[in-house]
């Protein structure tokens, strides 16, 4: 039996941060997709996925994250990731996610740049 992924959302100015904790498989990916869809429905256009609590992502989890990314691109929004393990970062690069989504070392660096995107002078 696999433990289900826990998802928590916090707003940081114009950026909505989705924290994941656990294995991003089909169920975990769906939890993230549900949270992202709810945020998009509420008008959020800048999402940051903090994966500090997730050490493993499988192919189904990645395919669901790609669906979230496609939805963000349709809405001209921004999807970014932070706190990836080297393995996950390499996998995202191979799968092409990093071509359309920014990856940051940590949340502070991500927020500093992303919050600028939501402001008129940025």
pTM of structure: 0.92
**pLDDT computed for residue 18 by the predictor:** 98
Q: pLDDT class for 116, splitting at 50, 70, 90?
A: confident
| Res 3 pLDDT > 70 | no
Report pLDDT digits (tens) over 28-55.
999 999 999 999 999 999 999 999 999 9
6-118 in CATH: which number? 3.30.750.24
Please, is 79 exposed, middle or buried when counting C-beta atoms within 10 Å of its C-beta (0-12, 13-18, 19+)?
Answer: buried
CA–CA gap between residue 108 and residue 89 (Å, rounded)? 18
């Amino acid at each position: 039996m696999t433990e289900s992924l826990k998802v928590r959302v916090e707003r940081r100015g114009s950026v909505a941060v989705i924290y994941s904790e656990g294995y991003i498989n089909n169920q975990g990916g769906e939890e993230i997709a549900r949270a992202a869809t709810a945020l998009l429905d509420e008008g959020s256009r800048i999402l940051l996925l903090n994966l500090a609590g997730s050490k493993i992502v499988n192919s189904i989890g990645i395919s669901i994250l790609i669906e979230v990314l496609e939805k963000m691109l349709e809405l001209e929004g921004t999807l970014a990731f932070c706190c990836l393990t080297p393995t996950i970062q390499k996998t995202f690069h191979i799968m092409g996610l990093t071509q359309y989504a920014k990856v940051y070392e940590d949340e502070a660096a991500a927020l500093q740049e992303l919050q600028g995107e939501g402001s008129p002078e940025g």
